[in-house]
Structure 1
Amino acid sequence: MSGVPPLPSFADLTVTVDSGVAVIAMSRPAKLNALTRGMRRGLAEMLRHYGGGSHARGVVVTGRGKAFSAGMDLREVTGPELDLPAEMELFNDITRAALATEVPVVAALNGIAVGGAGEMALSFDARIATARAAISWPETAAGLTVSNAASLFLPRLAGASRAMCLIMNSARLGACQALDLGLLDDIVEPDDLIPAAIRLIHRWTQPGSSTAAHLRLMRPSLSAVEAAMAREVAAVRQVQESGIAQAGIATVLTGHGT
């Protein structure tokens, strides 16, 4: 896996290959790694590049600083040209890229994962976190809607009734709560977060393992994922056209700007 062709550089994203595993870090800590359009495009491209099986045994996605990611950078999407369906599609393409990989994709949650960032993590094959991590879905209270096929992945992981309550209550789950609900696979010490994610990928990709075949079998079908994302895009279009989303974004930026 030496001689990996260089990727174009993406602002606020870094990648290192550690023990054959590509570790992608969202590197905008002063803004809690809030995801710009460029970062979302870059994540999808990096997943496609390293996920083909020839450049890495697996991919880990993590954040720098005290947050995994505060979700979509709302300051970037304000104004009269707001197009939330287009913004959501940039998130959805991360999910498409992750599900198309031939190698495992693991989220290493070093801190809070908000909205689309938490939903992105749900679409990965595993999630490991530190005790200070949390997952938050503020969309309902903010007049927004979920993305990344979360309407499929969250019920799949936590059960339909729990998923309904989590979304409708705009819940924030600590790491232990998320582990109990099946949304996390392990909680480790901060210094062991990336090593633990790499060890998991190594266990899943031993020589001779049928890893790629089982990833295809165990992941939901692409048709089901695309159907969920289509419903989510239709929903966000509806809340934008009603004006609910614009009002919610303004309230969030006034009170809790990223």
Structure 2
Amino acid sequence: MTAPTTPATQHIAVDVVRDVAVLTLDRPEKLNALTVAMRRRLAALVREFGTGRRVRGIVLTGRGRAFSAGEDLTQAPTTEAEVHEAFESFHDVTRAVLETRVPVIAAVNGLAVGGASEITLCCDARVGTEATEYFQPENARGLTISNATSLLLRRLVGNHALRMVIGSERIGSAEALRIGLLDEVVEPGALVERAVDTVRAWTPQGGTTALHLALLRPRTAEVEAAFEREDRAAHEAWTSGLLTAGVAGFWNTKQTEETTA
């Protein structure tokens, strides 16, 4: 008998702070690891608040010591159809953010891994603390990037994208600020408040923020072309067996570490 799953709504907390929607990844015991259901819920919430009718903007953050550990590998795909579903649910978060008529700010409270770090790339700004750290381990795990990262990461950091993805280098907050991955680093207690302040500063009454967001964000055709490239790479990783072997290797290493700890 399959154990009942916790509703995705219990893993994403929703608050409105000074007319700004704060969406918090709320699964700290799992380092806010993202399931397909959580990603679908997140995309739906971004679309709900992104119209601008209820709030001035959106802040995305995490509870606990991590922003998110990325893809929940306890629910790793076991069929090609599940691979497609997993990638599509990541892509849809990016679509939802880029379709909003309000600013979306990532308040990156801690470690941001893989697909979770990629989700922050489509946001209009990224605010962090000294604890913020980016880590994209996909290349050594048989996984491939998603979320239009092949477009958005280079757009933000240029050739640093190569060492982040291919070298899987961990990027701390100071380095992230230097290369343009973070826009600002603040004290932990001020993180969400600073992100809210940014939204409010960017949405003056009677302003044309929605029009400028549409002008400054990457074009839809560019993003969809990136999704297609990433989907082809995911298909190749699956059919070659690299994805399955990489996930198995991750769990074997984790089990060994826990046994020897």
TM-score bracket for the superposition, by shorter chain length: over 0.9
Please report the RMSD computed on the Cα atoms of aligned residues, expressed in angstroms.
1.4
2:209 aligns to what? 211
CA distance in structure 2 between the aligned counterparts of 1:215 and 1:256, rounded to whole angstroms: 42
Q: TM-score under structure 2 normalisation?
A: 0.92
Instruction: Provide, for residues 121-163 of structure 1, a one-character-per-residue CA deviation record: whole Å limited to 9, x for no partner.
Output: 001100001110101110111111101000001110111x221
CA distance in structure 1 between the aligned counterparts of 2:254 and 2:58, rounded to whole angstroms: 31
Instruction: Provide, for residues 155-176 of structure 1, a one-character-per-residue CA deviation record: whole Å limited to 9, x for no partner.
Output: 10111x2212221101210011
SS of alignment partner, residue 9 of structure 2: coil
Task: Give the structure with the larger helix fraction.
Answer: 2
Contact 1:33 1:69 in 2 (8 A): yes
Query: Gaps (5+ residues) in structure 1?
Result: 1-7
Amino-acid identity (%) = 46
Contact 1:10 1:38 in 2 (8 A): no
CA distance in structure 2 between the aligned counterparts of 1:182 and 1:233, rounded to whole angstroms: 27
Across the two proteins, how many residue pairs are aligned to each other?
Answer: 249
Contact 2:134 2:172 in 1 (8 A): yes
1:31 aligns to what? 30
The alignment status of 1:53 with 2:52, answered yes or no, reads yes
Q: How does 1:207-246 map to 2 (within 5 A)?
A: 207-246=205-244
CA distance in structure 2 between the aligned counterparts of 1:9 and 1:170, rounded to whole angstroms: 29
Structure 1 residue identity aligned to 2:207: S
Contact 2:77 2:86 in 1 (8 A): no
The alignment status of 1:253 with 2:251, answered yes or no, reads yes
CA 1:256–1:206 in structure 2 vs 1: closer, same or farther (change >3 Å)? farther
1:3 aligns to what? none
CA distance in structure 2 between the aligned counterparts of 1:217 and 1:81, rounded to whole angstroms: 36
Contact 1:75 1:253 in 2 (8 A): no
CA distance in structure 1 between the aligned counterparts of 2:128 and 2:164, rounded to whole angstroms: 19
2:189 to 188, 191, 202: 191
2:179 aligns to what? 181
Instruction: Provide, for residues 40-74 of structure 1, a one-character-per-residue CA deviation record: whole Å limited to 9, x for no partner.
Output: 00000000000001011000010000000000101
Q: Shift of the alpha carbon at 1:37?
A: 1.2
Q: Shift of the alpha carbon at 1:253?
A: 2.2
Q: TM-score under structure 1 normalisation?
A: 0.93
Contact 1:11 1:38 in 2 (8 A): no
Structure 2 residue identity aligned to 1:234: R
Structure 2 residue identity aligned to 1:217: L
1:92 aligns to what? 91
